[in-house]
Amino acid sequence: MVAIKTIGQVLKEKRTQLGLGLSEAEQLTQIQKLYIVALETDDYQALPGDFYIKAYLKQYAEKLGLNAERIIQAYDEGKGITVEDKDDIQETYHFVKPSERVEPEEEEQKPWQHYVPIISLSAVALLILVGVVTAVILNRPETPDLITNDYAYSNTASTAKKAKSSQTVKRETSSSTAAAPTVSVTQATTTAITAQVSNMTDPITVSFSAAAGSRIWVGMTNSNVSAGGQILTDGANTLDGVITTGATSSVITLGTAQGLTITINGTPLDLSALTTTGASKITLQIDRTTTTS
């Protein structure tokens, strides 16, 4: 059966026959969906001008496989297009302007390959985050506990040090003489100092003496001083802390350094840098006896 249809009807029927949704037609023709709807409803007032109307009609018709020249001619003459219509199909068209029409967004099921880049980027970002967290944890400096004895030494390290000391002793001749013990401050602030203890043999005893009228709390790691520390007062103003055999360091924590005297195996430790009246810390770095020929 021969029927006369508008340009919009012909365009829409062809798009429908090709199984294209509005979003797919927009992607195919590079014409905005709003203008596609206007062309299919013959609402040329919604288009920007005559030049664009003809350009869009030509582009849309060609992409749909229609005769573009025939479409343009029908537009110029303001006539419909004669087409062969099937007898068993009856379509009723109700033209609605785009401004009055609500076109539902077509849901397009995208293949799984579409999400591969997003998944890859997410995985890389996650790996970077895990790497950063791991690096921070592994490189986090250990904070010495000022109260408890948190310095532990493995049997392997102690054995290796003893073996090294034994080898050193064997190499010494009978004419060797022991170097003089020294206690020297290597770093100092008003609240903390670091001291190098050299050429001393075990047992290494750190002696504390508080001036009359002073009340000073003393804590010491890697020693026989209790984990809770000890308070020096007029009634008990001295304390001898013996450093654990083989230990290479010890941290002394003081409630105050004012009125306190410290000696290490009889060698005095210079506390003049500790001018604060509050808590202070002393780190002892211990080097065992060396000999010279």
With pLDDT > 70 as the criterion, what percentage of the chain qualifies? 77
> What DSSP state is assigned to residue 203?
S
Q: Which helix (H) or strand (E) holds 284?
A: strand 280-288
| Residue 59 or residue 109, greater confidence | 59
**Minimum mean pLDDT range among 55-69, 138-152, 173-187, 218-232:** 138-152
Residue 177, CA atoms < 13 Å, CB-side half-sphere: 2
Q: Per-residue confidence at 142, pLDDT binned at 50, 70, 90?
A: low
Is the whole model's pTM more than 0.75, yes or no?
no
Q: Per-residue confidence at 40, pLDDT binned at 50, 70, 90?
A: very high
CA atoms of 204 and 247, how far apart (whole Å): 10
> What DSSP state is assigned to residue 222?
S
Average pLDDT, whole number, for the chain?
Answer: 82
Strands 177-178, 2-5: pairing is unpaired
Strands 267-268, 238-242: pairing is unpaired
- DSSP string for 145-201: PSSS------HHHHHHHHHHHHHHHHH--TT-EEPPPEEEEEEE-SSEEEEEEEEE-
**Minimum mean pLDDT range among 153-157, 196-200, 257-261, 266-270:** 153-157
